Structure 1
Amino acid sequence: MKSKKVILFTLLFFSAFSFRAENPPYKNPELSPDERALDLLNRMTLKEKFAQMHNNTGGIERLGVRPYDWWNEALHGIARAGKATVFPQAIGLAATFDDMAVSEMFDMVSDEGRAKYHDFQRKRMYNGYKGLTFWTPNINIFRDPRWGRGMETYGEDPFLTTKMGLAVVKGLQGDGTQKYDKAHACAKHYAVHSGPEWNRHSYNAENISIRDLRETYLPAFKVLVTEGKVKEVMCAYNRF
């Protein structure tokens, strides 16, 4: 009888150990995202961590981590990922002065993005424009009509840009009460990126006063980070 108890205890012990090995903390949805991320990082090699610093990251098969490409677009609807609902351009949305409507619109966009993401996951399609990290909104200030990307912005007014950008973030990510974000928004381009476009990789904005920087170019970024809890911020190409 005693030997049977020992055998039973041994089997239970190794079963529990095996279960823990197959279900490490980073796969446990009951833990917080920070706890899960820390556990996963501690299991990764330096080379594996470095490989995650690109927008098109490879998977880590031994840890069950799938490949992921961080680049996706949703400026006025899901882009470059098959058929999708197309809404008015950002500059047109700004003309409505209706941030509530913009928030509702991007709530729909994130619904559609989620549906597409799950479909791509089922099909094991992990390349660009298949993820849940959308590089929008563009909250740069549009003052010069010669800038070819001005239609991506919400115009020249910092206050309106802030209101519209905040609406986009809340619509894409959710109201903050849900367990998981619906998607990730990205405030771009930080900062003073308002053209020219053709030499954006070498052009540096100069003669920007501290007052203009703080009153015009930075307010929207501050609000989207502090109030909107935007999950990503993209840097600008220039130095200023």
Structure 2
Amino acid sequence: MNVGDRGDLRHQRGRAGAAIALAAAVAALAGAVGSAPAAPVPYRLPAPLPRRASSPSIDRRAPYTPLVRSLIHQLEPTSPPTLPELTNAARIFQGGLGPAGANPTCHAVGAVAAPVGTNPSIAPLCWADAVGVNILNSPNRNRTTATPEPLAIGSSFDPKLANVWGQVEGAEGRRLMVTGLFGPEADVSVQPNWERGLDTLGEDPFLNDVMSAAQVDGMQAHGLMAQLKHFAAFSGANRYTLTEVADQALHEILLTPFESGFRRALAASTMCAYDEYRDTSRHLPGPPTAYGAGRSPYVHAPLRTWPLGEPHWACEHPLALAYTLRSLWHSIAFVGSDFPATHSTSAMVQGESQEFFTPTFF
């Protein structure tokens, strides 16, 4: 019996699953199912859910499509470059708390300024924190649907339900001018006393993989970018202490929950984590090609990452960001840091794309 089969059974028999389904259905269908106005509860169970939705397809030429290459060409500085040119081109590498001039319409945690002077123009980004769509201020504050803890969604064993909840987040986020959501969280709850345990889908890598991918599909079907987090090896780790992990455990427990989110659901982005870790295997492959070299039309000299077996912070660890994400899974998702989890300018070569929330290194 697969996860979906178990989900159907539990959805039909379990009151908890029905309650979660109801919350998602009410938000997604805007009260399409109701009873008489005099009834104390204005709905009936079971609540019908909208059809499952999927992420849009990706241009096979991405990320270097003709349009992207045209925009890059317009942003290339002169030789020698001027400070305004460099500042303009670098804007999209940095994000911050609140609008602060970066994006005045962004009332969430991650406003990202856009370079100016291009044709077509580049829209600024607005990232909201999860769980749900958290709007911090403005007249729309507290007007998004409150979610059950992801642990409750995971316990439903129902990927269709996770997909519908993703659709709720996608529809509400885009309506409030949010372009991306810091979620879902695919981490495995390895330690029962971990501070982030309630924000995970549970302790099973396969379950987390299926459920988080379903949520990514739902979000991105409505035009809201998903930033799958926290990549990688963050499950229960002390965020500022080195964690050593065996290669088998890394791949079977800590990386597995992310795989379908990138490979099947095509997550647009991922958030690298706070932790420092090292794969203890003595048989790792050599340093892979850094992201960009070999795929980018702008890099012509050989460019390799650091050795994969070295200890590094997650936001500059080539084992996850370059080898696993790019070479094994062939994902083009861009990598944004947690707040703040960037430790050096070298992170850009190792796989990080965007620094939050300070412009210290990028």
Q: TM-score, normalised by structure 1?
A: 0.70
Residue in structure 1 matched with residue 69 of structure 2 by the alignment? 38
Partner residue, 2:174: 114
Q: How does 1:84-99 map to 2 (within 5 A)?
A: 84-99=144-159
Deviation per residue, 1:164-207 (Å, 9 max, x gap) = 11111100011xxxxxx6111111111110235xx52x22212x
Between Structure 1 and Structure 2, the one with more helix by share is 1
Q: Pick the structure with greater CA Rg.
A: 1
Which of 187, 191, 208 is matched with 2:228 structurally? 187
SS in 1 for 2:156: coil
SS class of match (1:105): helix
How far off is 1:41 after superposition? 1.3
Instruction: Give 2:94's aligned residue.
Output: 54
Query: What SS class does the counterpart of residue 270 from structure 2 fall into?
Result: strand
Aligned residues: 184
Cα displacement (A) at 1:59: 3.6
User: 1:101 maps to which residue?
Assistant: 161
Q: 1:145 offset after TM fit, Å?
A: 2.1
- The question of 1:204 aligning with 2:204 is answered no
The separation in 1 between residues aligned to 2:252 and 2:115, in whole angstroms, is 45
Structure 2 CA distance, aligned partners of 1:163 and 1:65? 33
SS at match of 2:242: coil
Provide the rounded CA distance (Å) in 2 between the counterparts of 1:154 and 1:184.
Answer: 20
- Report the Cα distance in structure 2 between the residues aligned to 1:163 and 1:59, rounded to whole angstroms: 34
For 1:80 and 1:204, locate their aligned partners in 2 and report how far apart those are by CA, in whole Å: 34
| Amino acid paired to 2:226 | A
SS of the aligned residue for 1:213 comes to: helix
Tell me which residue corresponds to 1:79: 134
Task: For residue 66 of structure 1, report the CA deviation from its aligned partner.
Answer: 4.5
Q: CA deviation at 1:106?
A: 1.3
Counterpart amino acid of residue 228 in structure 1: A
Percent of paired sites with the same residue: 26
| Cα shift at 1:96 | 0.8
Displacement of 1:44: 1.0
What whole-Å deviation, never above 9, does each CA across 1:96-121 have from its counterpart, x for those lacking one? Answer: 1111011012112211111111xxxx
2:120 matched to 1:68? Answer: no
Q: Distance in 2 between matches of 1:190 and 1:231?
A: 14
Deviation at 1:60, TM superposition (A): 3.4
User: What are the ranges of 5 or more consecutive residues in structure 2 without an aligned counterpart?
Assistant: 1-61, 78-85, 97-111, 278-362
- Select the structure with the greater relative contact order (CA < 8 A; seq sep ≥ 6): 1
Partners of 1:192 and 1:217 within 8 A in 2: yes
RMSD over aligned CA atoms reads: 2.0
AA aligned opposite 1:51 = R
Cα pair 2:235 2:254 within 8 Å, conserved: no
State the distance in 1 between where 2:227 and 2:114 align. 23
Runs of 4+ with deviation above 4 angstroms: none
Using the alignment, how far apart are the partners of 1:97 and 1:54 within structure 2?
37
Would the aligned equivalents of 1:139 and 1:165 in 2 still touch at CA under 8 Å? yes
Instruction: Return the offset for 1:95.
Output: 0.9
Consecutive unaligned residues in structure 1, runs of 5 or more: 1-31, 118-130, 175-180
Query: How far off its partner does 1:132 sit?
Result: 1.3
TM-score after normalising by structure 2: 0.48
Alignment partners' CA distance in 2, 1:209 and 1:171:
34
Q: Is the Cα–Cα contact under 8 Å of residues 74 and 109 in structure 1 kept in the other structure?
A: no
The counterpart of 1:228, out of the listed 258, 262, 265, is 265
